[in-house]
Structure 1
Amino acid sequence: MTLPTNEGLSSISPRRSEETTREVAKFTATYVNGVAIGLALVGGLAPLFNAVYFTKELPIAWWQLVLISFICLMVSVAIHLAARRYLERELEK
């Protein structure tokens, strides 16, 4: 029995393959889309459902609640479009 040696190993890590780069880009875009979905649900829809079904008196005016929900939904869409653009750019390489 012989012990393994470091022969053939280099100190510099090999470059990622094209398929690995594509998968990393897909995972990144999926994570960012998950953040966008979370923002849409928690910031955009949950306050509206809470106001309609559970609260007798709102701590803020209706128009403020709708404005906050609208802004959260628009930011969510912007994050989704940014992730989509990132993925398209990475997959073109």
Structure 2
Amino acid sequence: MTLLAASSSPALPLSVVAVLAALAALSGYALLCAVSPFARCKPCEGNGKTRKRGTSPKRGWKTCRRCKGNGLRLRIGRRLFHTTRATGEATRRLHKAGTR
């Protein structure tokens, strides 16, 4: 008799493992958004400037439209957190004032 056959604990179903893995990934991303809410802007690669098309390399730079020149962007999870928080505060303010 081997150790594997003598084991009395059954294996977890695949769906439970998938849900646990998704929860672990989601909580990891939430922690990342809490610790570091900003990420490098992808179009300008964090430089704040992008190349203009069809111009010389010397004069062909413009401010990045996505990050407005600072080289950082707000992560999607952090933006979602701010949106839900603002919505909750507005709802609490309305209920406190007595209007529904």
> Under a length normalisation based on structure 1, what TM-score does the superposition of the two structures give?
0.38
Of structures 1 and 2, the larger Rg is shown by: 2
Q: Determine which structure has greater relative contact order: mean sequence separation of CA pairs < 8 Å that are 6+ residues apart, divided by chain length.
A: 1
Q: Of Structure 1 and Structure 2, which has the larger fraction of its residues in strand?
A: 2
> Under a length normalisation based on structure 2, what TM-score does the superposition of the two structures give?
0.37
